[in-house]
A and B are shown apart, each in its own frame.
Chain A
Amino acid sequence: MNERNEHLETLQEIRSLMERSSRFISLSGLSGVAAGVFALAGAAMVYVYLGTTPFEHKQLYYVIAQTTSKWGLDYISFFLLDAILILVGALSCGIFFTTRKARRKGQKTWDALAQRLVINMAIPLSTGAAVCLAMLYHGQIEFIIPSTLVFYGLALVNASKYTLTDIRYLGFLEIALGIIGLFNIGYGLEIWAIGFGILHIVYGIIMYFKYE
């Protein structure tokens, strides 16, 4: 019996070393929740700016946007500012919670694994950013919001090889939502709020209880 336990322990040790040495596992579920909250707040700001409510649809949001100018901002500056605020908020909370989790577990935050994760997320994301800028340049703004979901989903699927595998399915969901959004462009904002807001919060909570 003793020998059996020893072998079991050995196998568990092997598994743990393989995991720890190839995947960045300190990613905190709370950073997902925080990102979701920032996304919902950012989406709410857009509704306030446009003076519309979700699922109202007297007029398409991107049509209203083009004639809206509030708080001394035209719609392009407003959308860019809003996006930057969401990004900075979500990223800094993500870094905070992930560093905290790593420290508690006595692991390094910014090691080779974290760098590999960031690089592999950055490739689809920066491609997406370039594509969205091109759309903005050509005035095709209705496609931008659903496209961000598609590229973010691709980034998650790509990154899932280097961190907790669960984010692969989050990636698939984001891609699916983005594609639905591309075919129903009037619902772009609602779908974006579901994808970046609600999905992040739900996923973050699931991950938190699963791993922390």
Chain B
Amino acid sequence: MKKIIDKLNKSFDNRVRLGMMSILMVNEWVDFKTFKEMLGLSDGNLASHMSALEKQGYVEVRKQFVGRKPQTTYNATLIGRQAFNDHLDALEKLLKNR
């Protein structure tokens, strides 16, 4: 039991980060606005959680200009995908074991 709980990834403990990763698992290069609409969050909240994922190396960031507007988009890295899949596997095992 203890072993499985250890496998749950602390980075995904938080609902917001979990939601961000869920979206990034099925979409490539998602912009800030989409996260805001999907998760219903404020800019600041979103940015701080995103930078946490970025620091872990789970998410890569790209800044570019669309016309004259700057646009920031995010993509899940390979490590991020792997970590998220492991986290889901652990969750699943936890549910099955009881």
Binds A, one of B18-26, B41-49, B63-71, B75-83: B18-26
Output the least CB separation between B91 and chain A (Å).
5
Given the complex of chains A and B, what is the CA–CA distance between A14 and B88 in angstroms?
Answer: 9
Pick the contact of A13: B19, B25, B27, B92 (CB < 8 A): B19
The digit string for A1-43, where 1 denotes a CB below 8 A from any CB of B, is 0001001101101100110111000000000000000000000
Output the least CB separation between A113 and chain B (Å).
10
Contact, CB under 8 Å: B91 / A22: no
Assess A17 versus B22: contact at CB under 8 Å? Given A11-B95, A22-B27.
Answer: yes
Q: Is B52 an interface residue (CB 8 A)?
A: no
Output the least CB separation between A109 and chain B (Å).
13
Pick the contact of B26: A21, A108, A112 (CB < 8 A): A21
Contact, CB under 8 Å: B95 / A22: no
Contact, CB under 8 Å: A21 / B18: no
Contact, CB under 8 Å: B22 / A7: no
Contact, CB under 8 Å: A4 / B95: yes
Assess A21 versus B34: contact at CB under 8 Å? Given A4-B98, A14-B18, A14-B22.
Answer: yes
Assess A21 versus B27: contact at CB under 8 Å? Given A7-B95, A13-B18.
Answer: yes
With a cutoff of 8 Å between Cβ atoms, the chain B residues found around residue A13 in the complex are 15, 18-19, 22
Given the complex of chains A and B, what is the CA–CA distance between A129 and B27 in angstroms?
Answer: 31
Contact, CB under 8 Å: A11 / B91: yes
With a cutoff of 8 Å between Cβ atoms, the chain B residues found around residue A14 in the complex are 18-19, 22, 88
Given the complex of chains A and B, what is the CA–CA distance between A11 and B88 in angstroms?
Answer: 8
With a cutoff of 8 Å between Cβ atoms, the chain B residues found around residue A17 in the complex are 19, 22-23, 38-39
Contact, CB under 8 Å: A21 / B23: yes
Contact, CB under 8 Å: B91 / A10: yes
Q: Is B37 an interface residue (CB 8 A)?
A: yes
Minimum CB distance partner of A4 in chain B: B98
With a cutoff of 8 Å between Cβ atoms, the chain B residues found around residue A4 in the complex are 94-95, 98
Output the least CB separation between B61 and chain A (Å).
18
With a cutoff of 8 Å between Cβ atoms, the chain A residues found around residue B15 in the complex are 10, 13
Output the least CB separation between A102 and chain B (Å).
13
Given the complex of chains A and B, what is the CA–CA distance between A14 and B12 in angstroms?
Answer: 11
A-B contact pairs, 12 of them (CB 8 A): A4-B98, A7-B95, A10-B18, A11-B88, A11-B91, A13-B15, A14-B19, A14-B22, A18-B26, A21-B22, A21-B26, A21-B27
Excluding A7-B91, A8-B95, A10-B91, 7 further A-B contacts by CB distance (< 8 Å) are A11-B95, A14-B88, A17-B23, A18-B23, A21-B27, A21-B30, A21-B34
Could you tell me which B residues sit within 8 Å of A by CB distance?
Answer: 15, 18-19, 22-23, 25-27, 30, 34, 37-39, 88, 91-92, 94-95, 98
> 10 shortest A-B CB distances, which residue pairs?
A17-B22, A22-B26, A21-B23, A14-B22, A18-B26, A18-B22, A7-B91, A17-B19, A21-B38, A7-B95
